[in-house]
Amino acid sequence: MDFAISEKMKTILEMVNEFVDRELIPLEPEMARLSFKEMLPVLREKQKKVRQMELWAPNFPKDCGGLGLSLVDHGLLSEALGRTPLGHYVFWCQAPDAGNVEILHLHGTEEQKEKFLNPLVAGDIRSCFSMTEVDMPGSNPVMLETTAVKDGDDYIINGHKWYTSSADGSDFAIVMAVTNPEAPDYVQASMIIVPTNTPGFNLVRNIPVMGHAGDDYFSHAEILYQSCRVPQANLLGPEGHGFIIAQERLGPGRIHHCMRWLGICQRSFELMCRRANSRQITRDGKTLASRQIIQSWVSESAAEIQAARLMTLHAAWRIDQEGVKAARDEISMIKFVVANTMQRVVDRALQVHGGLGMTDDTILSFFFRHERAARIYDGADEVHKVSLARRILRNYPPA
């Protein structure tokens, strides 16, 4: 394992860090005031600059217009971008589009690639991923009620989904629906591409999450699929392979989240240290940083972030070397370790800011609200822990 950063990556990281500091972090106060749609014109201006820097779509494959970075290099870049909630969107490597690009690239037909993948990588359209259902446990995804029934050359889709992130403003959804109800559990469902302007694709609402319904890219939709008719040509991969493909999508997807969360850790840590050094708490000029309890938070946070970073880079390295399957345990470990590290670091940073931390005058309250979900989506902590423990315990027959 070699964590040396190449000269090319060092240059890219310098450019990206500078861009985030100079062009994106100054937009954050506006982000707290405006809707995402209202932010779009300025974000598009920033995206033009990213294209000029030739850093557009850094993690997408080269043959469809991306930069084709390895997972380790993308991890380093993603930490730099994750320091602001706008980073990944402006550089066009955001979830859920990143995962959708991967599966369209691997499993899409030529027609699907032309219609959906190429404009998605180019940034002309956006997409969403619609699997979780209101009445079924997302933690056991083989339990799905949404069906896609064949009718002539079409599928007719019926179902009730929610938490379809970023559906508002998307051009198509990749929908998980049961096509083969008689088959064994893991081969019952398929992925089907559904353009969001199809009659029967009904976006009920953007779900209020921690006080904010959000809009456009920053939102999570509830969707009713009501006799939603799409051509069978929109089937993605073989029929019944929905879960097999989802596993491929979620492996790198989890790594991508962890890398972004490290950026959130780093930014929160920087804010915590600056505040600790500047907030005077005595008349003779002593700052918060003079107190041992704060010093302890600083040291613990630095060590926890570094541990989480090394675990994440190691998992990324293993995926680069041996593929997703070989790195299954590492992926589960980082999913819950990094999510919990982030939660602790953001919480400490917010606490150090006192009342200011609760306001929207710093980015910490945004991180606190939006990132609690990290311990739930893409596999709740408990699900990862249970399945990891099961695999570990198999290696230890009873004494």
Ligand X SMILES: Cc1cc2nc3c(=O)[nH]c(=O)nc-3n(C[C@H](O)[C@H](O)[C@H](O)COP(=O)(O)OP(=O)(O)OC[C@H]3O[C@@H](n4cnc5c(N)ncnc54)[C@H](O)[C@@H]3O)c2cc1C
Binding residues vs ligand X (CB under 6 A)? 96, 129-132, 137-139, 163-165, 220, 373, 376-377, 380, 382-383, 386
Indicate the residue among 175 and 273 with the shorter CB distance to ligand X.
175
Q: Which is nearer to ligand X, 165 or 190 (CB)?
A: 165
Which residues contact residue 329 at a Cβ distance below 8 angstroms, ignoring those fewer than 6 apart?
A: 388, 391, 392
User: Residue 355: helix, strand or coil by DSSP?
Assistant: helix
Residues 277-289 as b or e (16 or more Cβ within 10 Å = b): eebeeeeeeeebb
Q: Give the nearest distance from C-beta 366 to ligand X in angstroms.
A: 13
Residue nearest to ligand X (CB): 138
- The residue among 13 and 373 lying less far from ligand X, judged by its C-beta, is 373
Q: Residue 56 or residue 162: which is nearer to ligand X going by CB?
A: 162
Number of C-beta neighbours around residue 291 at 10 A: 13
Report which residue type is found at 113: K
| Cis preceding-peptide flag for 184 (omega within 30 of 0) | no
d(CA 93, CA 367): 19
The residue type at 118: N
Taking the least distance from each CB to ligand X, the nearer of 65 and 242 is 242
Least Å distance, CB 105 to ligand X, is 19
Closer residue to ligand X in complex, CB, 31/273: 31
DSSP 218: E
CA distance 32 to 40: 14
Cβ of residue 138: shortest distance to ligand X, in angstroms?
2
**Which CB sits closer to ligand X, 60 or 162?**
162
Q: How far apart are CA 337 and CA 340, in angstroms?
A: 5
**What are residue 222's DSSP bridge partners?**
205
Q: Are strands 172-178 and 127-130 parallel, antiparallel or unpaired?
A: parallel
Written in H, E and C, the secondary structure of 131-151 is CCECCCCCCCCCCCCCEEEEE
Evaluated on CA atoms 265, 268, 271, 277, the torsion sign reads negative
Question: To the nearest whole angstrom, how small is the minimum distance from the Cβ of residue 194 to ligand X?
Answer: 13
In whole angstroms, how close is the CB of 379 to ligand X at the nearest point?
7
Nearest distance in Å: CB 141, ligand X: 7
Shortest CB 257 distance to ligand X, Å: 10
